[in-house]
Amino acid sequence: MSDSETSEQNSQFEQPDRQRLVVLISGSGSNLQALIDAEAHDELGGEIAAVISNRGDAYGLVRAREAGIPAVVLPHHEYDSRDAFDAALVKVIDRHAPDLIVLAGFMRILTPAFVRRYHGRMLNIHPSLLPQYRGLNTHARALADGVSEHGASVHFVSDELDGGPVVVQAAVSVTPDDDEDALAERVLTREHVIYPMTVRWFMQGRLKLTPEGPRLDNHPLPAGGLRLSPDDVTEEDL
Ligand SMILES: Nc1nc2c(c(=O)[nH]1)N[C@@H](CN(C=O)c1ccc(C(=O)N[C@@H](CCC(=O)O)C(=O)O)cc1)CN2
Ligand SMILES: NCC(=O)N[C@@H]1O[C@H](COP(=O)([O-])[O-])[C@@H](O)[C@H]1O
């Protein structure tokens, strides 16, 4: 058994009563880092039990290992189908019996069977004010359209790509001299605020997905989710 698997096997027995989450990544992992930092400050409501990446070159793997979190690479291109890849994901995820699966820059479309398995306990962060700009290249598309506001959305994952019920959005103003990198950086900064906050709400049992939609403290959320405006900074501003 490899080191990462050994440490991974042991992690499920540490502090068994704490809420656990598994984070899926594909790249830099700055949102993962925001979650790691929140956990380090006891502001996540649980522990990151494992990190899984579909890319072996994801810097987020370095972040996980430096934080002592078991990190597993499942190269999607080594699997014959999406179903086979998702089945391998399930096998690794379920070893940790997580309460929540968090997609943090995870760039693979998940199959309906996978989404059903984790319905109501899988979140994603998307770099747009959904339902605007589902899919990829959101910043370039927003700039091309000349929008005045852009941002990020945290939503429960559904079969409909980036179409699941939105929990929280954070908006940024788009300036005339914005380019893709500058806009992406400002949106990421907001992501690092709203994702740990939303994950904490779920881990604390405050956020649930009901058949009628997301509820926070048993109150229905506004259509389109709670919105942090460009001037709002923290949860207290919601
Ligand atoms: N069933 C769902 N799967 C995923 C969702 C979702 O809402 N429902 N969210 C995405 C995250 N995402 C945007 O937020 C996203 C990720 C990936 C893609 C995409 O087109 N992926 C391509 C490969 C792209 C690449 O490898 O660079 C693919 O899977 O063929 C679109 C949107 C996560 N999954
Ligand atoms: N469609 C999914 C998607 O585009 N997600 C986006 O990828 C970036 C990941 O950054 P990170 O790896 O530094 O967290 C984030 O901006 C996230 O919103």
pLDDT 10s per residue in the chain (238 long)?
444 444 555 555 555 579 999 999 999 999 999 999 999 999 999 999 999 999 999 999 999 999 999 999 999 999 999 999 999 999 999 999 999 999 999 999 999 999 999 999 999 999 999 999 999 999 999 999 999 999 999 999 999 999 999 999 999 999 989 999 999 999 999 999 999 999 999 999 999 999 999 999 999 999 999 998 877 766 766 7
Is residue 127 within 8 A of residue 184, CB to CB? The reply is yes
189 CA distance to ligand 2 middle (Å): 11
Measuring from each residue's beta carbon to the nearest atom of ligand 2, which residues come in under 6 Å?
Answer: 25, 27-31, 60, 104-105, 107, 125-127, 152, 188, 191
Q: What is the ipTM of this complex?
A: 0.98
Two structure tokens written together for 160: 């409909």
29 CA distance to ligand 2 middle (Å): 8
**Strand extents, DSSP E, 77-126:** 100-103, 122-126
Binding-site residue numbers are: 29-31, 82, 107-110, 124
Give the global pTM: 0.93
Q: Domains in the chain and their CATH numbers? A: 18-237 (3.40.50.170)
Task: Give the residue, by CA position, lying nearest to ligand 1 atom 4.
Answer: 109
223 CA distance to ligand 1 middle (Å): 23
